[in-house]
Amino acid sequence: GAVVSQHPSRVICKSGTSVKIECRSLDFQATTMFWYRQFPKKSLMLMATSNEGSKATYEQGVEKDKFLINHASLTLSTLTVTSAHPEDSSFYICSARNGDYGYTFGSGTRLTVV
């Protein structure tokens, strides 16, 4: 149990376009999901906490207008990188907590902005 599906796994987009990343909890409900960003050989940095039915909570320094988060249902959270630029290229990972299974992570999305 406790599977989190994230897609796309890899995306290349042009500068100035927007990219949407989806994170779904497949066999459990998640009122809260978390979005992380990871640079090569670095740790996971929390970007925001996604709350079902309400606004996301963003970490200090993360632009909420740049990284739009929507958590419309108990099984789906989306992260939209708006007007992407090369510096937004990174590995984005979502996670959700499921009882005793700790925090289950999606497989991640590698975003490359060209």
Our CB check for another protein shows the closer of 16 and 102 to be 102
CB of 78 to another protein, least distance (A): 18
Q: Which residues bind another protein (CB under 8 A)?
A: 32, 34, 36, 41-46, 49, 60, 93, 95, 97, 100-108
Using the minimum distance from each CB to another protein, give the nearer residue, 18 or 103: 103
Distance in Å, CB of 83 to another protein, minimum: 26
Q: How far is the CB of 16 from another protein (least distance, A)?
A: 28
Q: What long-range pairs does 2-5 form, CB within 8 A, spacing at least 24?
A: 2/27, 2/28, 2/98, 2/99, 2/101, 2/104, 3/27, 3/104, 4/94, 4/95, 4/96, 4/104, 4/105, 4/106, 5/106, 5/107
Q: Which is nearer to another protein, 16 or 45 (CB)?
A: 45
Q: What distance in Å separates the CA atoms of residue 68 and residue 82, rounded to the nearest whole number?
A: 7
> Which of 36/67 has CB closer to another protein?
36
